[in-house]
C-alpha cells in the first residue's frame, strides 16, 4: 500500500500555513498578495479569532488549506484561496459584546461579503464560499465544491485554534 506523503497531510499543511515562504509558495502568494496588501485585511491582525491566533492568521490558514485542497481536487484553487482570505473579513473583535455585531455567528458572512466587495470584484464561486461558510449554523448549504472545501477547512482550522489550550507545549505555535 502506498505511504501517504507526510508533507501533504492536513496537519502538515496546517503547520506549513505558519511558515509560508514567498519563494517556495510563490503561486499562493501571487494569488493572495493583492488582498493581503489591503489595509482592511492587514487590520485583521488586530483581532483574536480563537485562543491566541489572530484573525489574520486564521484567514491565511483557511486560505492556504483551501488552496491546496482545491488544487489537489482539480477545483478552482484561485477562487478558493481568495475566498479563504475574505471569508471572515470583519472590522470588529467578535469577542467584544457590542450590539452592532450581535449574533456574529449568523451575520458575519454577510459583513465579510460586503467588505470584500468594497476591495475586489468577486466571482460567483467566491461570493458563495464567503456567504455560506458558516453552514450548518446558517442553514443554506454551499453551492459549489470550492465553497464546500472552504467550509470544511474553516471548521478544521477553528478546531485546531480552539484546542490550543489543551496543548502540552503551548509555546509551539501550531501544535
Ligand atoms: Fe467565519
Ligand atoms: Fe473562519
Ligand number, closest to the Cα atom of 90: 1
Integer Cα distance of 63 and 56 in angstroms = 11
* Average pLDDT for the chain: 91
Distance 49 CA to ligand 2 centre (A): 8
For residue 53, give the ligand nearest its CA: 2
Q: What is the DSSP string of 35-71?
A: HHTSHHHHGGGGSEEETTEEHHHHHHHHHHHHHHHHH
- Going from the Cα of 173 to the center of ligand 1, the distance in angstroms, rounded, reads 21
Q: What is the CATH number of domain 25-166?
A: 1.10.3210.10
Q: What is the pLDDT of residue 169?
A: 60
Read off the pTM. Answer: 0.92
Q: Residue 96 — pLDDT band, cuts 50, 70, 90?
A: confident
Ligand (nearest to CA of 161): 2
For residue range 20-64, list pLDDT tens digits in order: 999 999 999 999 999 999 999 999 999 988 888 899 999 999 999
Residue 112: phi, psi to the nearest 5? -60, -40
Q: What ligand is nearest to the CA atom of residue 63?
A: 2
Over 80: is that where the pLDDT of 7 sits? no
Q: Give distance in angstroms: CA of 2 to centre of ligand 2.
A: 33
How many whole angstroms from 4 Cα to the centroid of ligand 1? Answer: 30
Closest ligand to the CA of 109: 1
Q: How many CA atoms lie within 13 A of 6 on its CB side?
A: 0
- pLDDT for the residue numbered 4: 59
Q: What is the pLDDT of residues 145-169, one digit of tens each?
A: 999 999 999 999 999 999 987 776 6
- Ligand closest to 155 (CA) is 2
Give me the pLDDT at residue 98, please.
81
Question: 48 - beta bridge partners?
Answer: 54
Q: Tell me the DSSP string of the chain.
A: -PPPPGGGSHHHHHHHTTS--TTTTHHHHHHHHHHHTSHHHHGGGGSEEETTEEHHHHHHHHHHHHHHHHHHTTS-HHHHHHHHHHTT--SS-TTS--GGGTTHHHHHHHHHHHHHHHHS---HHHHHHHHTTTTTTSSSPPSSHHHHHHHHHHHHHHHHHHGGGG-S-TTSS--
| pLDDT tens string 105-161 | 899 999 999 999 999 999 999 999 999 999 999 999 999 999 999 999 999 999 999
**pLDDT value at residue 29:** 98
Distance 119 CA to ligand 1 centre (A): 18
Amino acid at each position: 500500500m502506498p505511504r501517504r506523503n507526510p508533507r501533504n497531510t492536513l496537519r502538515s499543511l496546517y503547520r506549513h500555513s505558519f511558515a509560508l515562504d514567498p519563494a517556495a509558495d510563490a503561486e499562493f502568494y501571487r494569488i493572495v498578495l493583492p488582498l493581503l496588501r489591503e489595509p482592511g485585511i492587514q487590520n485583521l491582525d488586530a483581532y483574536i479569532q480563537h485562543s491566541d491566533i489572530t484573525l489574520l492568521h486564521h484567514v491565511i490558514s483557511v486560505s492556504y488549506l483551501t488552496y491546496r485542497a482545491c488544487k489537489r481536487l482539480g477545483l478552482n484553487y484561485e477562487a478558493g484561496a481568495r475566498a479563504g482570505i475574505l471569508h471572515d473579513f470583519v472590522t470588529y473583535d467578535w469577542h467584544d459584546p457590542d450590539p452592532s455585531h450581535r449574533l456574529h455567528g449568523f451575520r458575519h458572512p454577510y459583513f465579510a461579503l460586503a467588505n470584500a466587495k468594497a476591495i475586489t470584484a468577486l466571482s460567483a464561486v467566491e461570493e458563495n464560499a464567503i456567504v455560506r461558510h458558516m453552514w450548518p449554523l446558517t442553514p443554506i448549504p454551499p453551492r459549489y465544491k470550492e465553497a464546500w472545501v472552504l467550509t470544511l477547512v474553516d471548521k478544521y482550522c477553528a478546531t485546531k485554534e480552539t484546542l490550543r489550550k489543551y496543548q502540552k507545549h503551548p509555546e509551539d505555535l501550531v501544535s
